[in-house]
Amino acid sequence: MGKDECKTMLDALNKVTACYRHLVIALGSTSDSQNLREELKKTRTKAQELAVANRTKLTSLLKDKGISKDDRAEYERLWVLFTSSVELLEVDMKRSLEIGQDFPLKVPRRHLIQTGMTGSTTTVAARAMSVQNMKYEADANIDTVDLKELETEIAQVDQMMEEMELKVQVAPWTVEAKQEAGAELKSTVSVGNSSVGIISICEEEPKETVEGETGLMKVFAGVIFTAVLLIAGILGYLVINL
């Protein structure tokens, strides 16, 4: 059905926008590199393609006069989702242009900000492009060359948004959200417990070392307890049998 297609496409756009934001945050810091600039470019292109595809699909659905009221409400909700996504993307693109201009990579006197992030963002970009490994094939001065293209792309996105506003008359404040407050907690219950231990380090600093240590202690205690139980069980069995 049209709705399911729309939803999958919107999910994809959402994913790429989120990854793009992560990449832009790394701009200008010590995890910046030529690779990052290339990743940004690729993610951006993909996001724009998805945006255009989404737009054509949704406009054609909304222009159809013969749909029911419920359907129309649903499409309007999807439209609001789409426009918010594209707005976020546009802001991130503008900011990446600015930061990219402020932090050219080849100039020796211009240092990158020592933010503590030193790893690469390959995995994030791979997630955005839905590939296993990223291939880097751009030339060495992508940071300056790319900026001009970025300007034209921003202008294109701006224009697209203006057209959308004019053509599609959807009042965003009439849309009601389907999710209630705290909905994000539900589907992420199975979120890895391994990450919790690490991230809790950032949380309560006075308890910083204690958190990690009590975690280890608990694991140790568990292991010892099971070992003792096993030994007691075996001894009991031997005593009974012998």
Partner 1 sequence: MTIRNVRDHGQRFRPRMACLKKVESVVLEMQDPKTGVKSQTQRLVITTIPHALTGEDIVAWIANRFKIDAAEARAMGTMMVAFGYIYPLQDHKRLMLKPDTSLYRFQTPYFWPAQQWPVEDTDYAIYLAKRNIRKKGMLELYEQEQYNNLYKWMNHKWDFIVMQAKEQYRAGKERKKPDRVVFDCQERAYWVVHRPPPGTVSAMDYGHDRMVDPNIEEKKTPDYYRRIIMFTQQCIMRPRVKSSVSIGALVKYTTTYKEHDPFLHACLPSNPWLTDDVTYWTLNMPNVETPTKMRVERWTFSFGELLMDPRGRDDFRLFLKKEFSGENLAFWEACEDLKWGAAETMKEKAQQIYKTFLARGAPRWINIDGKTMDITVKGLAHPHRYVLDAAQTHIYMLMKKDSYGRYLKSPVFKETQKKAIAPEQHRFTETQLEQNAKRRRPSLSPIILRQQEEEQKAKLAASGPVDITQVMSKLERKQTK
Residues from 106 through 145 that contact partner 1 (CB under 8 A)? 110-119, 121, 123-124, 126-128
Position 174 contacts partner 1 (CB under 8 A): yes
Position 151 contacts partner 1 (CB under 8 A): no
Q: Which residue is it, tokens 């724009």?
A: 48
Please give the distance of CA 27 from its chain centroid, rounded to a whole number: 15
92, 83, 103: which is closest to 150 by C-alpha? 92
Coil/strand/helix, residue 131: coil
Of residues 209-238, those binding partner 1 (CB under 8 A): 209, 211-213
Q: Which stretch binds partner 1 (CB under 8 A): 7-15, 34-42, 52-60, 232-240?
A: 7-15
Complex with partner 1: residue 21 or 57, whichever CB lies closer: 21
DSSP 157: H
Residue 182 phi, psi (nearest 5): 85, 10
Structure tokens at 125: 């970009």
Min separation Cβ 66 and partner 1, Å:
25
Strand partners, 29: 113
Position 29 contacts partner 1 (CB under 8 A): yes
Give me the amino acid identity at 85: S
Q: Which stretch binds partner 1 (CB under 8 A): 11-19, 55-63, 130-138, 222-230?
A: 11-19
Sole binder of partner 1 in the list 9, 19, 51, 157 (CB under 8 A): 19
Please give the distance of CA 5 from its chain centroid, rounded to a whole number: 21
Position 169 contacts partner 1 (CB under 8 A): no
Position 72 contacts partner 1 (CB under 8 A): no
Number of residues that bind partner 1 (CB under 8 A): 80
Sole binder of partner 1 in the list 4, 137, 152, 199 (CB under 8 A): 199
Structure tokens at 221: 């205690």
Length of the chain: 242
Min separation Cβ 198 and partner 1, Å:
5
Structure tokens at 209: 């070392």
DSSP 178: S
Sign of CA dihedral 178, 184, 186, 190: positive
Min separation Cβ 242 and partner 1, Å:
47
Min separation Cβ 12 and partner 1, Å:
10
Quote the CA–CA distance of 205 and 211 in Å, as a whole number.
Answer: 10
Of residues 82-111, those binding partner 1 (CB under 8 A): 83-85, 87-88, 91, 95, 99, 102-103, 110-111
DSSP 73: H
Complex with partner 1: residue 139 or 180, whichever CB lies closer: 180
